[in-house]
Amino acid sequence: MLDKLDAALRFQQEALNLRAQRQEVLAANIAQCRYPWLSGSRYRFCQ
């Protein structure tokens, strides 16, 4: 029973990590579009 709980919690942890990474990318893209002089990124997502 604990194995199933552990697997479920690991899955949830990984899902949260992926969502956090996605949020960081989105925040960086918004910041890059609003303040292009602050950007050190090599990717451009706005026009």
Higher-confidence residue of 35 and 47: namely: 35
pLDDT grade for 34, boundaries at 50, 70 and 90: confident
Chain centroid, CA 1 distance in Å: 32
What pLDDT is recorded for position 31?
A: 78
Written as six digits, the tokens of 20 are: 């956090």
Listing DSSP states for 3-47 in one string gives HHHHHHHHHHHHHHHHHHHHHHHHHHHHHHHH-GGG---S-----
Q: What is the mean pLDDT of residues 26-45?
A: 71
Per this entry, what is the length of the chain? Answer: 47
Q: What is the mean pLDDT of residues 6-31?
A: 93
DSSP state of 22: H
What pLDDT is recorded for position 35?
A: 72
| 15-27 pLDDT tens trace | 999 999 999 999 8
Amino acid letter for position 31: A
